Chains A and B, each alone.
Chain A
């Protein structure tokens, strides 16, 4: 997918290309098996993330992880987890198409997200992720840098979330 960018003076709103995305559920005690299968040591604290190359993992619940990888690797990752399933119970579900991803970058990124996010965004650690809400939609909020975020939102909620972000980005440009 191409990446339409709506660029404003102090913040840009970008529809990001798709990635291979998985929801992983596994007992924390078995986490090393998952880390080995995925090729990345998974973080253990809710909100934390870990990255290596194009693989990333975010802990989003006591036994729940969001995994990202290159699209080309999707089947290999499914197979790697399938190979250990008999010995180590877990659930790996492909959700690559469930969500769309919006990139929000620029000095006003926090202000823009604050139109829909009730949480104190400044407390979100860089490199971490959190499931939360944006307006009426549940979203996954990933912080890549001080002023760079990604919002993953279920496909059917995307127009609503993206539309609000564009309206609010225009406000920031007007300066009011």
Chain B
């Protein structure tokens, strides 16, 4: 069971309080009707499925209830950082420098 840091509660808590919510930074288009079928398909279904650092969404569903973002290494299953919804994906170099 992982420990996850909720950026809203500013607390590190057991995974049982959280729910995974898919890849992060996929914004719903402001006007979906303007998208081609291919663009809409990509929005709906195409995901990076990375081996390595993955930006993904979690919800502190059994806590403060907030959706937030995380960078997790899919190889080691380790969280590198978590950040609030709406914030830009942290730069890996900045992150490593901070460690």
Taking a contact as CB atoms under 8 Å apart, the answer to whether B16 and A47 are in contact is no
Q: Does A162 belong to the interface (CB within 8 Å)?
A: no
**Is the contact region of chain B dominated by helix, strand, or loop, or is it mixed?**
loop
Q: Which residues on B sit within 8 Å (CB–CB) of A131?
A: 62-65
A46-B8, A46-B9 are contacts. A60–B16 as well, Cβ < 8 Å? no
Inter-chain CA distance A119–B3, complex, in Å, is: 10
> Using a Cβ cutoff of 8 Å, how many contacts connect chains A and B?
37
Q: Does A150 belong to the interface (CB within 8 Å)?
A: no
Q: Which residues on A sit within 8 Å (CB–CB) of B14?
A: 118-119
Inter-chain CA distance A62–B65, complex, in Å, is: 9
Inter-chain CA distance A138–B62, complex, in Å, is: 6
Give the nearest-CB partner of A135 in chain B.
Answer: B16
Give the nearest-CB partner of A47 in chain B.
Answer: B9
Inter-chain CA distance A78–B36, complex, in Å, is: 49
CB distance from A139 to the nearest CB of B (A): 9
Taking a contact as CB atoms under 8 Å apart, the answer to whether B66 and A132 are in contact is no
Q: Which residues on B sit within 8 Å (CB–CB) of A119?
A: 13-14, 17
Q: Which residues of B contact A (CB under 8 A)?
A: 1, 8-11, 13-14, 16-17, 62-66
